[in-house]
Amino acid sequence: MNQTAILWLEIAILLPLVGGLLLTQLSDAFYARRWAIVISGLSFLGTIFAWGFGEQAALSESSFSIGRLVAGRLLVTVDSLNAPLLPAVAMLQFLTALTTLRTKIRRFSFGWALVGESLALLTLAARDEWLVIAAASLATIPPFLELRQRGRPTGAYAAHMLAFVVMLVWGWAVVQAEGGGRVHTLWAVVPLLGAILIRTGIAPWHCWMTDLFENATFGTALLFATPITGACLAARLVIPVAPDWVLRGMGLLSLMTAVYASGLALVQGEARRFYCYLFLSHSAMVLVGLEMKTAIGLSGALCVWLSVIVSLGGLGLTLRAVEARQGRIVLGDHLGLYDHMRPLAACFMVTGLGTVGFPGTLGFVGTELLVDGAVTMYPYIGVALVVAAAMNGIAVVRAYFLLFAGPPCRSTVSLAPGPRERIMVVAVMALVILPGLLPGTTTASRYRAAIDLMQRSAREQGMPLPLIEAPGHPGHPAADTHPAH
C-alpha cells in the first residue's frame, strides 16, 4: 500500500460518518436522500482508489495520514483480504441510497445508513484488533435505533447483540492477557467463537436475523447483514488463535446451518424470510470454508464471501424494488410481474443464479473451490455443501416463478423500474457476469488472501510457516489438494 491508498481509504470511512451524523438532524427526507447519494458515491470512489493504489510501493513511516495526525499511528490498511471487499460494501450502500423510491424515503434513515457504512468499512480496514471490535460493536446501534423509532420489537435483536459484544470483548481481553505465540485456552477461544456464531446468525442463534428482516426496513437489514461482518471477525480474531478442533466445531455448526437454512428458504411463504434464510445459508458456507485452513478451502470461502456481497446484495435490492411497488410480498400465488418489470426479473434471475454458483457467474469458481476443498478433506462436508447449494438454487428459481411468472398482473399505474433502478440492474448484472467469465484476477486475489491468512495463523500460534510455492509446483497447497481434471 502507499500513502495515496491510505488517504483515500480514510476519506472513504470518515466522509459517510460525518455526513451521516449531519443527515440524522435533517427533517427533509428528499434533501437527505440527495446528499446520501452524493456522500455514498464519493465514499465508493474512495474505496475504488484505495484498492487501485493499495498494491503499489510501501508506505513510509513519515507519510501523512489522518490516523497519524489523530492517533500518532496508522489506524487502517488495505491488504489482500479487504481490498475487493471495501468497494463491494461501499457500492451496495450507494446503490441502496440510489434506488430508494420516493414512497419509501421517509421510512429509511439515510443518516444512520451512512454511519453504518462507515463502521462496516472500518471493521474491514482497521489495523488494530480492538478497533475492529469497537467498530463491529458500534455498528449494531443504528439498526436498534431504527427499530425503536418505528415502534417495532427490539428484545430479540438487543439481547443477541449485547451477548455478541460482551463475548467479543471478553474473548479478546483474555487473548491479550495470555500473550501471543501460542494456541490460546478455551477461556479466550470459546467466547470469541460464540460471538462469531451469534453475529453470523448460525443456528440456533439466528432468530434475531429473521426478526430484523421482518421489523426493520429492508434496506437497513440488507446493509447490516450482507457484508458478513462475522466472517471478517473470524478471519481477524478467531482463526489466527483458535486450535483446529475449535475451528472444526465452528465448521460443523456452520454446515448444519447451511443445510438447515437452505431447506427453510425453499418453503418460505414470505419474500423477506426467503431472502433471510438464503443469506444465512450462504454466510454459513463462508464460515465452513474459513474453518478448513487450506489454500483451496480458504480461497473458495473468500470468493464466496465476495460473491455474497455482490450477488445476494443485488438480489436483495431487486426484491426491495419489487416490494416498494407491491408491499410485503407473499410467495403464494403467481404474481405475474414479468411484463411490468422485465429488467428487475432479469436481475433477480442473474443475481440469484450467481448466488448459488451457476457457471459463468461470480460465484461459480468460489463455490467450486469451496466444494473441492471440502471433499478433499472431509467428503461428507462436500456432499452437504452440494445439497445446500442445490436447495438454494431450487429456492431461487421457485421465488422467481412465483414473482414474475403466471397470468400478467393488471395495474392501473406503471410498475416499470425507473432510471436509477436500471442503473442498479446494469451495474449488478455486470459485476456478477464479467468476473464469472474472466475469473482469473478474482481467484488470484482471493488465493493471496488465503495464503496470508494461513501464514498469520501459523505466526500467531508459534508454528512453522506453511510452504508456499508457485501454482502447479510440488508442495503448493493447490497441487497437494486439488487433483488435475
The model's pLDDT over 145-184, given as tens digits with 9 standing for 90+, comes to 999 998 999 999 999 999 999 999 999 998 888 776 566 7
Rg of the chain taking only CA atoms, in angstroms: 21
Is the predicted pLDDT of residue 479 greater than 90, yes or no? no
The model's pLDDT over 273-286, given as tens digits with 9 standing for 90+, comes to 999 999 999 999 99
pLDDT of residue 480: 40
Is the predicted pLDDT of residue 430 greater than 50, yes or no? yes
Q: What are phi and psi of 270, to 5 degrees?
A: -135, 135
Q: What percent of the chain has pLDDT over 70?
A: 91
Alpha-carbon distance 164 to 159, whole Å?
Answer: 9
Alpha-carbon distance 460 to 182, whole Å?
Answer: 7
Alpha-carbon distance 162 to 205, whole Å?
Answer: 13
Burial of 314 (0-12, 13-18, 19+ CB in 10 A): buried
Q: What is the mean pLDDT of residues 194-221?
A: 92
Q: What is the mean pLDDT of residues 434-459?
A: 85
pLDDT of residue 111: 93
All cell numbers assigned to 303: 470468493
Closest CA to 163 of 194, 138, 185: 194
| Average pLDDT value over all residues in the chain | 87
Is the predicted pLDDT of residue 335 greater than 50, yes or no? yes
How many residues does the structure list for the chain?
485
Ranges 117-131, 287-301, 417-431, 470-484: which has the least confidence: 470-484
Q: What is the mean pLDDT of residues 22-29?
A: 89
All cell numbers assigned to 201: 446468525
Q: What percent of the chain has pLDDT over 90?
A: 55
Closest CA to 217 of 161, 165, 147: 147
- Global pTM? 0.90
The model's pLDDT over 228-250, given as tens digits with 9 standing for 90+, comes to 999 999 988 888 888 778 888 88
Alpha-carbon distance 467 to 301, whole Å?
Answer: 21
Ranges 43-47, 183-187, 338-342: which has the least confidence: 183-187
The model's pLDDT over 77-87, given as tens digits with 9 standing for 90+, comes to 898 889 899 99
Cα–chain center distance at 200: 10
Ranges 15-29, 59-73, 144-158, 294-308: which has the least confidence: 59-73
Q: What is the mean pLDDT of residues 342-351?
A: 94
pLDDT of residue 180: 65
Which residues, 6 or more positions from 363, have their beta carbon under 8 angstroms from its beta carbon? Answer: 303, 304, 307, 308, 311, 354, 355, 356, 357, 432, 436
Q: What is the mean pLDDT of residues 423-447?
A: 90
Cα–chain center distance at 44: 16
pLDDT of residue 106: 86
Is the predicted pLDDT of residue 371 greater than 60, yes or no? yes
All cell numbers assigned to 199: 453475529
Report the SS3 class of residue 152.
Answer: coil
Ranges 157-161, 351-355, 472-476: which has the least confidence: 472-476
Is the predicted pLDDT of residue 478 greater than 80, yes or no? no
- Residue 64 pLDDT grade (very low, low, confident, very high; cuts 50, 70, 90): low
Closest CA to 93 of 217, 223, 218, 216: 223
Q: What are phi and psi of 64, to 5 degrees?
A: -80, 140
